Amino acid sequence: MPRSTLSLVFGTATWVVLAFLVLPILIVIPVSLTDTSFIGLPRDHLSLQHYETFLHSPEWLQSAWTSIWIGVVVAALATALGTAFCIGCWFLSDRAAMIARWILIVPILVPPVVQSLGFYKFWVTLGMIDTYRGVILAHTLLALPYVSISVFAALTNLDPRIPQAARNLGAPLGFAIRTVILPSIRPGMITGAVFAFIVSFDEIVGVLFLTVRRVETLPKMMWEGIQESINPVIAVVATLLVLISLLATCIVALRAKRTPA
């Protein structure tokens, strides 16, 4: 088959796959601008009435604020713990580090329902059901693998002889970590923090298991809205979630572009 034909076939397949992945997500944007009182595409004209409803709803705004501040706290905790874990593994033997990394990545491999059921049983014993600290701790555990993957990738580009040289020059271990290792892996830490925030901000299964009425995150509010009545405001919230995820992804991409190889 000619090379031009192969390029056309693979190029077409690429765009078809991208359209299949992206279009179902982007369809919520015109739905959020509908001029009707139900879920659907605009009939006569585009309207911002449902955005206005969202901005004037104390319940929606409170749930959005709850998701944001929980996501920020989770990003900070997951980044601190994940970075400490990765640096500790970096000083271990290759075999021990590999075992530790696989154990930490297990939560990504386990179905969310199984994870949430385990959290529920354990959190009942600890008295953390329907509490902010219970949700934050669960989200932190879920976000740790994403932070560790990012930080481990940054550590692979760090020459181990550099911190060793700092130690040989008399720098204590803590000082070497703070002044040599952390600045070198900062891009990986930022990327991990962004992904940790996204994981927390979008998470729904664990919240449904661990909360009742006291903790209302944005995804949970959407879920309850779908169960009670399909309101176009849900499309507005879905659009905001997509835009926030895209913004976070752009931040990571720009940060990676500015970081020298």
46 within a domain of the structure (yes/no): no
Domain presence at residue 219: yes
pLDDT at 105: 79
Residue 188: count other Cβ atoms within 10 Å of its Cβ: 28
9 assigned to some structural domain: no
Asked whether residue 22 is domain-assigned, the answer is: no
- The domain total for the chain is 1
Q: Burial-class residue 39 by CB neighbours within 10 Å (0-12, 13-18, 19+).
A: middle
Helix (H, G, I), strand (E, B) or coil at 207: helix
Q: Look at residue 49 and tell me if it is in a domain.
A: no
Q: Is residue 212 part of a domain?
A: yes
What CATH number should be reported for the domain holding residue 176?
1.10.3720.10
Does some domain include residue 85?
yes
Between 188 and 174, the more confident residue is 188
Span 128-170, pLDDT tens digits: 888 999 999 999 999 999 998 888 888 887 777 777 777 777 7
3-state secondary structure 86-99: HHHHHCCCHHHHHH
Enter the pTM of the model: 0.82
Cβ count within 10 A of residue 18 = 10
Q: Which range (115-119, 187-191, 252-256) has the least confidence?
A: 252-256
Question: Is 1 inside any structural domain?
Answer: no
What domain range is 103 assigned to? 58-258
Span 45-55, average pLDDT: 86
159 phi and psi angles, rounded to 5 deg: -70, 120
Residue 261: which pLDDT band, with cuts at 50, 70 and 90? very low
